[in-house]
Every structure is written in C-alpha cells, then in structure tokens.
Amino acid sequence: MKWPLVLTLVLTAAGADRRNTETPNTDTRATFVAPDNLDAWKARREALRRQILAAAGLWPAPPKHPLTVLFAGRVERDGYTVEKVAIETLPGFWVGGNLYRPKEPGRHPAILHPHGHWPYGRLENSALCSTPALGANFARNGFVVFAYDMLGYNDTVQAPHDFTGPEYQLWNFTPLGLQLWNSIRAADFLESLPGVDPGGLAMTGASGGGTQTFLMAAVDERLAAAAPVNMVSGLMQGGCVCENAPGLRIGTNNIEIAALFAPRPMLLVSATGDWTREVPKVEFPAMRKVWELYGQAERLEVVQFDAPHNYHKESRESVYEFFRKRLAPDRPAWRERNTPVEKLQDMLVFHGRRLPEGALSFDELFAQWKRTARAAARRMSAEEARERLRVAFAWERRPKFEELPSRWHEGRAPAVLLLHPDGMAAAEQSDEFRALRAAGRAVLVMDVFQTGSAVAQRDRSHRHFLTFNVSDEAARVQDAAAAIEELARRTRQPVEVRATGRARWWALFAAAVAGAPARFDAVAEEFDEDEARLAREFFVPGLLHAGGVESALRAGAASAAQFRK
C-alpha cells in the first residue's frame, strides 16, 4: 500500500493525560458500581483475581512443598485446647500461630484468623481486640480456629513487617504477597487436620487482618464464608505496606475486591468511629448488587457498632452468629464467655527455642523467591509470557491512542513506529527518520509519557503511589503499545518498531505486549537487568518476576513471526 502525499497529523495536546492529573492514593475516596449483567461481572472478576495474584507475586504461585508442621505444646481448657503451632509456608520460612480446637469429637468448621496491627499481634487481649477470646469461644462451640502471625510479629521473625524498595518490587516480593501466601498455606494446614470439615472453611480478621481476609476471599475458592472487620471502605484503602503492593489497586479498590467473594456468604462489620462509618449506607448497597446478579442478595450482611476501630466483644459476637448460621446451623446460638488468658510466653512457639534447622535469613528468603520466580518464567510459553507482561504493564489500562501526542507521516507500508528518548521532535531530527522518509516509508513519531510535549507535573509523593498508579516507564510502554495497535489498524498490516537509546526498552516491551503483530530487532545482551540500573532507568514493578527481557524477547519473537506472515 502506498500514499502519494506526505501528511503530518498532530494528535491531542500535552498536559491533559489522566495519569498525571488523576493519581489516587489510599485516602482518595473510592466508589464502586457493579456491572449490569453477570457475564460482565465474571469477566471482570477473573481479570481482577489475576491482578491481585500478580501484584502479590503469586501468579504463578510458588510450588507448594510438602507442608511441615511443628507442634510445640498444648494447653487443656474447659471444652477446648490451645496449641502452639508453626508451619513452614516456604522452604525454610516459618509462620507461628495458635490452634484452638474443640474437645468434642467429629469434624468441625474451621476459621483462619489473621490479626490486625495490634501491639501484641495474635496475642492481643484488650477491650478493643482479643484474639484469645475469639479463639476460645469459637472452639468451645465447635469450631477450629488457627490464629496466625503477620510478618514481624510474635513468632514470625524471619522477615520484617515493613519492607519495600525497587529491588523487591521488581520481583513482586512484598509483605502483602508473603502474607497472602501464608494465608493460603494456613488454609492448607487446616484442611490437613483430621477434625476439620474442608467444606466449612471460613476466615475473619480486623484492620490489617480484614485486608488479608478479603484478599484471601477474592482469590481462594476454598473459603465458604468470610467476615472482614472494620476494613472494607471507600474512604481509606489500607495504610500499611502489608496492605499495599504495586499494581494491586490500579483501576480498582477494596470495595470491588471484597465483592469478588460473591455469591458466597460475607459479613461486613463496621464502626462509626473509623473509615467504615459509611458502610451500611454506601459500600454495602453497592456491593449487594453483585450478590443480586447471582440471585443471592441475602448472603451479604452488614452490622455496625458505635465504637472506634476495633474487633471488640460485640463485633466478635456478630461474627460468631454469622458463621454459626452459615456453617453450623444445627448448633445453638451463643454469647461470648470470659475465658482464661494464657501467659504470652506460654503461647509463643519459639520462646526459649531456636528456629528449626534450615531456617532462612531474610536475604536468603529473597534470593530463594527470585530463583523460584526465574525458574517459573523460563517455563512459560510465549503467550503466557505476553499475558504476564501485560499485567505488569497494566496493559488493559493503556490510554486511547487519540489521547497521545503524535505525528503521522504518510508513505508506503509497512509503517514504522520510531521512538526517541526525547520525543517526536528529536526523532524527526534523527538520521534514521531521514532515511525512512527518503525511502518513502510511513512513519509515526510520538511523545510517549513524560517526554517532549508530554512532560507535565505528576505527584508521586504518596508512599503507596504504585499501588494505584503505573510507573513512568510502564506508562511509556503503554503508549508505544497503543501506537502499534493504531498503526496496525490504520494500515491493516504488521508494524515495524525502531528506537534509539533508552527508548529501546519501551520498544522491546511494547512489541511484546501489543495486541497487534510487530517486529522489533533486539538481542538480550543489549539490555542490562541489574536491579539497581533498572530502578534508575527502567523501573516497572513486577518486571523481573514476569521474566523481564527474556519473556519480552519470547513474546516479541512470536509477534514478529506474525509480521513475516
């Protein structure tokens, strides 16, 4: 195909890019409107589950090694027992907890209970929160409860609770992801117990434990019921690094994430004195529409108490009744009874004893995570590599091409997308551009995100900025991918991509993720994946976990094969 004229088009104006003007954070008011039909919701549900797992570094998940369990002692009480337990959730990584079990024989419903950010973690026993009271009262009334640690609390000391930084984020190695994996393995542990009914698995937690509850509920089909306490809200999305990971809430929020549990039974517990104060009137009705799509509106319930942020006695009693009604309806209702509270040291697995042989340091744990991720990436097909990279670059959130500043020079096909680190004006001054035009080739040049005329202010100051927003480099790849798709649509032919300098990174990954055939000539040796250099020059969270350059070359080769056709 040839065009007799050389035509230049200028598309859109700089400064209006929503990625600059709309930079949500954890305190930005969030809203949720359910789709009109169930098919649309199911498609959205699958995409969001994949997004959550990818952000957590669990897509794909690490291999499940045989679960090693350390039982370190038991206390006998009236109608129940309490055991000190540690489980090895990753090779050499141990999570501590307490297992509350009824003394009566038979198979019992079981409850996962991650704690919130209380000073004593799973051993907190105060007016606002008491895990020992919850565990004992559930166990006395026929439920098994596993109360386990968040990172850095009580027995779980091989990783700090708060760690972040580009070197970890490149590998999706985050507190949120480790804790979610611990929850998945805690469910494996409960299922392995002979006295547990695997069809009666439930989960509840408050505050940070509430975040863990609805994240686990979103991705693990084994949960039959869930009760996130004082956390699901459109007013605040979670302030701790253990509740935030890059990519987690791009285009979504906790309300929608919690709704992924539909149509299974969920109880929203809220309080007038924290960010859940609007739940009965705002978040609950919005979420209920998802349950209505399934014809199961009665399975979503809400309660609210006039109290500060908590998991107090009244909140616990509402959860007792909800789980009793949903998982053990033949049992009589009960109210909370006072229970003996054990000494803290008597409930700790590793008090006065060393971690098991082979326990890893934090650096060793990170090294193991990287080896596992790298091995998984190398097993991927070209299409699997493309899909994982698309999630890392939030490909589904790419802008419309007509919103991007570009110039189109008509000529003969195949069209060339020419990328320059300094934007389209610099590209048009290059020798490569002049050679392409002299040969009569059609060329598109553009100012990808934050280059040339697209440079604009962007507030990146919030600590959890990347939980809600793509990095600058990811946005540049989004723009180049959108251009490839537009050129393929416009010419009805595959696209050739050329680039110079730093822009070769954008070209490599854009050709890999674009939804149209493209060719970009590159070799692995020209791209340095040193973590420190990537943090400076091409920072995209999850890039290395998704296979990095190797995945891009594999996916790009498949696209180039279509080019040759």
> What pLDDT is attached to residue 562?
74
Across 300-306, average pLDDT: 98
Confidence of residue 9 (pLDDT cuts 50, 70, 90): very low
In the predicted model, what is the mean pLDDT of residues 390-405?
95
> At residue 229, does pLDDT exceed 90?
yes
Q: Is residue 457 a contact partner of residue 20, using CB atoms and an 8 Å limit? A: yes
pLDDT at 4: 32
pTM of this prediction exceeds 0.75: yes
304: helix, strand or coil: strand
- Average pLDDT on 71-82 reads 96
Least confident window among 181-190, 499-508, 556-565: 556-565
The confidence band for 559, taking pLDDT boundaries of 50, 70 and 90, is confident
Round to whole Å and give the CA distance between 243 and 179.
9
* Burial per residue of 457-482, b for 16 or more beta-carbon CB atoms within 10 angstroms, e otherwise: ebeeebebbbbbbbbbbbbbbbbbbb
Note the pLDDT tens digit of each residue in 426-461: 999 999 999 999 999 999 999 999 999 999 999 999
Percent of the chain with pLDDT over 70: 97
| Cross-strand bridge partners of residue 228 | 205
Predicted confidence band at 184 (pLDDT cuts at 50, 70, 90)?
very high
Torsion, Cα of 511, 513, 516, 517 (10° steps): 40
Structure confidence at residue 560 (pLDDT)? 83
- For residues 47 and 435, what is the distance between their CA atoms, to the nearest angstrom? 43
**Residue 10 pLDDT exceeds 70:** no
| pLDDT value of position 8 | 41
Kindly report which listed range (412-416, 463-467, 531-535, 561-565) carries the lowest average pLDDT score.
561-565
State how far the Cα of 202 lies from the Cα of 192, in Å rounded to an integer: 15
For every residue of 339-382, which 3-state class applies, written as one string?
CCCCCHHHHCCCCCCCCCCCCCCHHHHHHHHHHHHHHHHHCCCH
The string of DSSP letters for 108-146 reads EEEEEEE--S-TTGGG-BSSSBBHHHHHHHHHHTT-EEE
Per-residue pLDDT at 1: 33
For residue 458, give both structure tokens: 């962007």
Instruction: State the Cα–Cα distance between residues 200 and 264, nearest whole angstrom.
Output: 12
Q: How far apart are CA 322 and CA 238, in angstroms?
A: 25
Angle of CA points 1, 509, 499, to nearest 5°: 60
Mean pLDDT, rounded, for 387-393: 97
Please name every residue paired with 409 in a beta bridge, in sequence order, or none if there are none.
Answer: 8, 443
At residue 5 the predicted structure's pLDDT band, cuts being 50, 70 and 90, is very low
Phi and psi (nearest 5°) for 442? -75, 135
| First CA to last CA distance, the chain | 16
What is the arithmetic mean of pLDDT over 465-476?
A: 98
125: tokens are: 């026993």
Please say if the pLDDT value at position 112 is more than 90. yes
Q: Which two tokens stand for residue 78?
A: 């009236």
In this structure, how many other beta carbons lie within 10 angstroms of the beta carbon of residue 400? 9
Q: How far apart are CA 168 and CA 373, in angstroms?
A: 12
Q: Work out the mean pLDDT of the chain and round it to a whole number.
A: 95
Q: Could you tell me if residue 86 is left (phi over 0), alpha (psi between -120 and 50 degrees) or otherwise beta?
A: beta
State the amino acid at position 154 in one-letter form: N
Q: Which of 471, 465, 541 is nearest to 28 (CA)?
A: 465
Which residue ranges form the domains of the chain, and what is each CATH number? 8-17+372-564 (3.40.50), 43-330 (3.40.50.1820)
Give the pairing of strands 8-11 and 406-409: antiparallel
pLDDT: is 14 or 305 the higher one? 305
Cis peptide before 414 (omega within 30 of 0): yes
At residue 418, the pLDDT reads: 98
Report the distance separating Cα 45 and Cα 33, nearest Å: 14
pLDDT for position 410: 95
Q: Report pLDDT for 564.
A: 65
pLDDT band, very low/low/confident/very high, at 563 (cuts 50, 70, 90): low
pLDDT tens-place string over residues 213-222? 999 999 999 9
pLDDT of residue 548: 97
What is the pLDDT, as a whole number, of residue 49? 98
Token code pair at residue 165: 């930084």
